[in-house]
Amino acid sequence: MSLKSRLSRSELTIGSWVTLGHPSIAEIMAAAGFDWLVLDMEHSVLELSEVQSIIQVLDGKQCPAIVRLTSNHPDQIKRVMDAGATGVMVPMIKSAAEAKAAVDGVYYPPRGQRGVGLARAQGYGNSFQAYRQWLDENAVIVVMIEHVDAVKAIDSILA
């Protein structure tokens, strides 16, 4: 069962953070039984190439990789999704419009605004349609509520 399905059923899942760029660290953590791992690009020195290598290792262990971004920028969202991330964790969301922008960055039209790339996630062009279906069924988007303005707008953000 996918992480998204488990979360939608309110099942308990246990995960952890990866802040060091060596794929073996993530491999050991996945083998330890975590249900998901967050690759923290916001408060670590992880680079995109390291993130992709870690995602590849986690795919082999069937451990979903959620990438904590540095911002809610569609260019960063599509790059980590193209690298094969299961989803994104977007910091400092303060409004429904910002939450919608995060969703738009993950999904292709008509659901979102993400541009088409033929990278790792899409099988370098060999499995775009399968990826598109996988994305609709499995992508996880976590918006971080870290500001009083977000707390005041929580209902509209969750909508």
Active site residues: 43
> Residue 146 in contact with residue 90, Cβ under 8 Å?
no
Q: Closest by alpha carbon to 135, among 14, 2, 40? A: 2
Coil, helix or strand for 44? coil
Q: Burial level of 73, CB count in 10 A (0-12/13-18/19+)?
A: middle
DSSP structural state of residue 144: -
Helices 74-82 and 96-106: crossing angle in degrees, nearest 10, is 40
